[in-house]
């Protein structure tokens, strides 16, 4: 799968704003339809073609997100946009123009199994057969045939492909990583799209986790995790030379430290590194430019650093591959130029608004950029930047959602919460319309916990925050210890702290909200996906009276079984998992931090959503907790989606589970709810347990749900 704003923009990390007006005078905001927030966006994933002749984006076609194209002439839009793919099962989420051709490529899995295949589709529609259908000559399965006129380039069963690069210097080709040869390791393949021929560029026999190539697609830098939780990287000075040591990071340093990119000539490596001796660089690190000679000698130069956050993203020249800007994110993400030739452009993009700017693509000649502007109060909008001469011009194209752009959204505010041991936790709060700090009485609140856990919450438009606030809940998201982006000490503070200090941070955030008069202590729910689902289960079993209820989406319940069932292609990360969570041979330890071991303390109602094909947190994880909970007189509802994996990609399934969730929260906390209607019936969801609890949420469930 959120992103950056400018260094010159102020970091709005102040005390939380209290909302507009008085509580007594405020009228309830109209309910925002679930379909607006969780259905298909009108447009997303905007791109400009390398030759600046076309724009492309994802938009619904026959109810499913597909690729749409619009022609450009001298940077101006011409004609009407048109769909060029016709996926009929699952939404397309990752796609690219294929340089030097009239084609696009994209990745797609089957029903959420994350075995992504690579597809190619012609922008100019090919001739159909006599039946009027365009045959998919590359289809290996019935599901692949549902891609219509697209052709599958990697039709191998039980393999996973990742796009590594497309480049104007390699027209009609794509560089991918694929684990066909060995499930646990990814090799680098060059695919000739016209013929489908795949040529091995690099055989990965030592479980390298990252592989970075130069402009000629020679693999120059590789990185892998070590058994002790550290990592190491090697560098190859010439395309056919021997590998030489580049950098070894200890387990303490490995979190923020990694190679980010390689210049087109292979002579410069860009690295996020936190091992420098200077005090200012020893925690969050910085972006370094490492010049390499043919003997492998290194010259390091600091390009940029930030005392509150690690390097987040790298913007490189599309031709030379040299770094031009780097983003950092604390309260809000922002870009910082490292090449003065781009500083003026970043200043101009900053005039779009005070939200978060993400540069999503650029033409090879640099004339046209696509830009995404993300603002918590206005949503996501897409822009075209015309770069020319001494000045540039920004052109607003469209919002991601016309309906969201027309709404008055709630502000998302950043604050710092002090944990019990003094650690500062950056959190984001959204409150309902009419709620005034210090005036309004405390109300119901949902603590939403991010997944990972090695990721973070960010500022910007968040449909879940807006949905819950609209229903009458304050929403709090906290970056607990172990979250990434805040330096190695913050991340390392989460090592072996699952259900312990990591959970204490969440408890401390709830207590803060209670002290601040935001949350009614009897009406706090916990909710999350993946690690956030685990945190939900921990919240209801380790602190059984703190939360009124919980919503767990694809969360693990038993860490012993979870770590025994990780996908083969996660083997390279085993050393990191051993250090940060626990080793498989530490069965008692894993049991002690597993919610399943505390099922006897479960007291409050629980709702669980699970994808049947989840490769990360298999269905067995949810089955276990449900079966154990059924032995107790605690309301537990369980909804399984047979065509989903780690989360809900299909909007019909998202809306169905959110419909049940808001009815569940309304019953437990007293907030508002849009009627469930036929949302469950239109989805693939099946009630596996707690049908009486779910049916009690709405009369519409008298019709048998699912397909």
- 705: nearest Cα among 696, 695, 697: 695
Question: Is 429 within 8 Å of 476 (Cβ atoms)?
Answer: yes
Count of Cβ atoms closer than 10 Å to residue 459 Cβ: 24
Strand arrangement, sheet containing 94-98: 94-98, 103-108, 117-122, 151-152
Instruction: Tell me, yes or no, if 309 is annotated catalytic.
Output: no
DSSP state of 597: G
Token digits for 230?
């550290």
Q: Active site residue: 61, 465, 503, 646, which one? A: 646
- Beta-sheet strands, E only, within 53-111: 54-61, 64-73, 76-83, 94-98, 103-108
CA distance 419 to 27: 36
Q: Number of helices (H) and strands (E) in the chain: give both, helices first.
A: 15, 36
All residues at 6 or more sequence positions from 634 whose CB lies less than 8 Å from its CB, including other chains: 602, 603, 604, 605, 606
Q: What is the C-alpha end-to-end distance of the chain, expressed in Å?
A: 28
Beta bridge partners of 427: 415, 478
- SS3 helix, strand, coil % of the chain, rounded to 5? 20, 35, 45
Burial call 137-157: b when 16+ CB within 10 Å, e when fewer: ebbeeebbbbbbbbbbbbbee
Token digits for 296?
């492998």
CA distance 23 to 21: 7
- 656: nearest Cα among 703, 619, 618: 703
Phi, then psi, of 518 in degrees rounded to 5: -90, -50
CA distance 311 to 288: 10
Beta bridge partners of 380: 374
Q: Active site residue: 530, 594, 683, 684, which one? A: 530
CA distance 675 to 670: 14
Question: Is 460 within 8 Å of 376 (Cβ atoms)?
Answer: yes
- 165: nearest Cα among 147, 188, 185: 188
Instruction: Tell me, yes or no, if 131 is annotated catalytic.
Output: no
Instruction: Tell me, yes or no, if 530 is annotated catalytic.
Output: yes
Question: Is 467 within 8 Å of 494 (Cβ atoms)?
Answer: no
DSSP assignment of 129-195, as one string?
A: -TTS----TT--SHHHHTTTT-EES---TT--EEEEE--TTSTTEEEEEEEEEETTEEEEEEEETTT
Q: Please, what sign has the CA dihedral across residues 109, 114, 117, 121?
A: positive
Q: Active site residue: 167, 306, 614, 643, which one? A: 614
Q: Which residues are catalytic?
A: 530, 614, 646
């Amino acid at each position: 799968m959120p992103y950056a704003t400018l260094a010159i923009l102020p970091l709005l990390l102040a005390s939380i704003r209290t909302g507009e007006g008085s509580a007594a005078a405020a009228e309830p905001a109209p309910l925002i339809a679930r379909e607006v927030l969780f259905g298909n966006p009108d447009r997303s994933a905007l791109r400009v073609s390398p030759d600046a002749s076309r724009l492309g984006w994802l938009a619904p076609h026959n109810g499913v997100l597909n690729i749409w194209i619009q022609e450009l002439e001298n940077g101006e839009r011409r004609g009407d946009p048109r769909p060029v793919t016709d996926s009929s099962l699952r939404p397309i989420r990752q796609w690219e123009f294929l340089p030097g051709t009239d084609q696009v490529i994209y990745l797609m899995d089957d029903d959420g199994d994350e075995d992504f295949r690579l597809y190619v589709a012609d922008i100019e529609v090919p001739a159909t057969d006599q039946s009027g259908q365009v045959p998919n000559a590359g289809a290996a399965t019935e599901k692949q045939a549902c891609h219509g006129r697209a052709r599958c380039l990697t039709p191998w069963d039980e393999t996973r492909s990742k796009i590594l690069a497309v480049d104007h210097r390699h027209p009609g080709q794509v560089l991918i990583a694929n684990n066909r040869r060995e499930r646990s390791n990814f090799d680098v393949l060059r695919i000739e799209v016209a013929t489908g021929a795949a040529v091995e560029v690099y055989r990965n026999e030592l479980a390298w986790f990252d592989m970075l190539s130069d402009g000629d697609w020679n693999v120059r830098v590789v990185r892998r995790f070590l058994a002790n939780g550290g990592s190491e990287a090697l560098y190859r000075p010439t395309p056919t030379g021997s590998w030489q040591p580049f950098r070894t990071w200890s387990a303490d340093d490995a979190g923020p430290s990694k190679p980010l990119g390689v210049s087109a000539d292979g002579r410069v490596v860009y690295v996020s590194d936190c091992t420098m001796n200077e005090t200012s660089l020893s925690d969050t690190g910085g972006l370094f430019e490492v010049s390499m000679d043919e003997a492998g000698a290194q010259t390091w130069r600091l390009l940029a650093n930030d005392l509150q956050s690690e390097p987040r993203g790298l913007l490189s020249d599309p031709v030379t591959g040299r770094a031009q800007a780097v983003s950092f994110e604390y309260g809000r993400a922002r870009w910082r130029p490292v090449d003065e030739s781009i500083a003026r452009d970043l200043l101009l993009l900053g005039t779009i608004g005070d939200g978060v700017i993400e540069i999503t693509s650029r033409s090879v000649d640099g004339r046209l950029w696509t830009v995404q502007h993300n603002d918590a109060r206005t949503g996501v909008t897409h822009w075209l930047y015309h770069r020319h001469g001494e000045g540039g011009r920004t052109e607003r194209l469209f919002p991601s959602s016309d309906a969201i752009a027309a709404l008055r959204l709630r502000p998302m505010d950043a604050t710092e919460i002090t944990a019990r041991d003094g650690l500062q936790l950056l959190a984001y709060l959204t409150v309902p319309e009419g709620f005034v700090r210090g005036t309004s009485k405390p109300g119901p609140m949902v603590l939403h916990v991010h997944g990972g856990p090695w990721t973070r919450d960010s500022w910007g438009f968040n449909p879940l925050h807006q949905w819950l606030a609209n229903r009458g809940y304050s929403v709090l998201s906290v970056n607990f210890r172990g979250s990434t982006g805040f330096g190695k000490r913050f991340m390392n503070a989460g090592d072996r702290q699952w259900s312990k200090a990591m959970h204490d941070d969440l408890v401390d955030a709830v207590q803060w909200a209670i002290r601040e008069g935001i949350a009614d202590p009897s009406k706090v729910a916990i909710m999350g996906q993946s690690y956030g689902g685990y945190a939900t289960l921990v919240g209801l079993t380790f602190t059984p009276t703190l939360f009124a209820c919980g919503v767990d989406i694809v969360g693990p319940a038993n860490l012993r079984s979870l770590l025994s069932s990780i996908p083969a292609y996660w083997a390279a990360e085993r050393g990191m998992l051993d250090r940060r969570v626990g080793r498989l041979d530490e069965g008692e330890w894993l049991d002690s931090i597993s919610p399943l071991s505390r099922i006897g303390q479960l007291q409050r109602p629980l709702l669980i959503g699970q994808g049947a094909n989840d490769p990360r947190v298999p269905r067995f994880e949810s089955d276990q907790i449900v079966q154990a909970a059924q032995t107790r007189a605690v309301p537990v509802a369980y909804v399984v989606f047979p065509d989903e994996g780690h989360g809900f990609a299909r909007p019909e399934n998202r809306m169905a589970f959110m419909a049940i969730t808001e009815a569940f929260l309304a019953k437990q906390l007293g907030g508002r709810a849009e009627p469930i209607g036929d949302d469950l019936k239109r989805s693939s969801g099946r009630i596996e347990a707690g049908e009486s609890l779910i049916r009690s949420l709405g009369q519409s469930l008298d019709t048998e749900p699912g397909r």
